[in-house]
Amino acid sequence: MEHYAGKFPVWLAPLQVKILPISDKFMPYAEQVFAQFKKAGVRVEIDDRNEKIGKKIRDTEIMKVPYMLVIGEKEVTENKLSVRRQGKGDMGILDKDLFLNQVLEEIKERLAPIS
């Protein structure tokens, strides 16, 4: 634990992805994304607090969650995700399935048995 100073890699983090809806009207899409990621085995949760998105992002950065998914009008309309990486910032808007596969691959690569 000391080696990572609380900033765990995705495969080791207790919470791997946090979904941050901009407002309550985007909760149905956030819940759909949550269910898809949870079913795939990703440790995920939704920040459903009635706070501004800037505060949600700051709080999630402080918690050192590897990935944040900001969900607003554009993401819902395009069926995509706005992805932020802890410590690195905005990664842009990505296809939902593509991002899920990237996270799963990142986890799988690290958990593969050493031959």
> What is the structure's pLDDT at 9?
80
Pick the CATH number of 17-103 from 3.40.605.10, 3.40.190.10, 3.40.50.800, 3.40.50.10090: 3.40.50.800
pLDDT 10s digit of each residue in the chain, 115 long?
444 555 778 888 899 999 999 999 999 999 999 999 999 999 999 999 999 999 999 999 999 999 999 999 999 999 999 999 988 889 999 999 999 999 999 888 876 554 4
Residue 73 and residue 24: Cα distance in Å, rounded?
Answer: 11
The phi and psi torsions of 79 (rounded to 5 degrees) equal 55, 45
Residue 55 and residue 115: Cα distance in Å, rounded?
Answer: 44
Provide the Cα torsion 102, 108, 114, 115; round to 10°: -90
Q: Where are the domains of the chain?
A: 17-103
